[in-house]
Amino acid sequence: MDFVFTVCDTAAAEECPPWPGQPITGHWGLPDPVRATGTDAEKALIFAQTYGVLRRRIASFVELPFEQLTRLALQIHVDDIGATHDTPAKG
């Protein structure tokens, strides 16, 4: 594995297992949309927002110039992507 991403909003405080090959890791935590409350439409909106955030983060990740970045620079970009992209409203 080259990269490992966690998306659980509670995983940041947990100890992650060691990953074979020492991949670059990113915590892109998001609230679990399954826990959203409200009407069916409000719950659907939370799912759509969560999908949108993940889609934007993945798009930013795949657009990185991998060949031109050091391992440390890649890690910094991965961390920045998880920290700077919007998160869905909690339901």
Q: d(Cα 26, Cα 83) in Å, to the nearest integer?
A: 10
User: Is residue 41 in some structural domain?
Assistant: yes
Structural domain boundaries enclosing 65: 3-84
In a domain, 90, yes or no: no
Residue 84: pLDDT over 90:
no
**Cβ pair 82, 43 in contact under 8 A:** no
Tokens 């934007």 sit at which residue? 56
- pLDDT, residue 11, reads 55
Q: Does residue 61 sit within a domain?
A: yes
* Predicted confidence (pLDDT) per residue in 32-74, tens digit: 899 999 999 999 999 999 999 999 999 999 999 999 999 999 9
Q: Is 91 part of a structural domain of the chain? A: no
Q: What is the pLDDT of residue 14?
A: 66
Domain count, the chain: 1
Residue 40 gets which letter from DSSP?
A: H
Task: List phi, psi (to 5°) of 29.
Answer: -60, 140
Residue 37 lies inside a defined structural domain of this protein: yes
Q: Is the dihedral of CA 87, 34, 2, 63 positive or negative?
A: negative
